[in-house]
Amino acid sequence: MFIVDVTLKNSPVTFSVQRKTEEGAKAVYQQVLDAIRSGNPIMLELTCEQQIGKTVAILVSEISAVQMVEKSGTAAASGRPPGFFALREPSGT
C-alpha cells in the first residue's frame, strides 16, 4: 500500500489518500504537483482506495507540500512514522 500525504499552509493537519499500487500513488502525486505548478484546477478532489467513500477536496493554493511513501511495517519498527519533518531555528532570547 502507498500513501500520498498533502500538507496545507498554516495547518498542522496532513491529508492522506492510499493507493494499492506504486503506479497509482505516483499518478496522484504527479496530479498534485501539476495542480500546484499550474494553479489549475482551483480545487483538487482526491479519493482513497483503502477507505471506500473517503474523499477530500483541497484548495490548490493552500498546498504547501506533498509526499509519497510506501506503507510498511519497517517504518513503525524503526520508531519513525512516515511524514514531514521540520526544524525550527532557535530563538535569540
- By the 8 A CB rule, do 15 and 32 touch? no
pLDDT of residue 78: 44
Burial of 50 (0-12, 13-18, 19+ CB in 10 A): middle
- In sequence order, the β-bridge partners of residue 67 are 5
pLDDT beneath 70, residues of the chain: 73-93
In whole angstroms, how far apart are CA 88 and each of 13, 59, 82? 18, 26, 19
Whether a cis peptide bond, with omega within 30° of 0, leads into 90 is no
- By the 8 A CB rule, do 62 and 8 touch? yes
**pLDDT tens across 52-77, in order?**
889 999 999 999 999 999 987 544 44
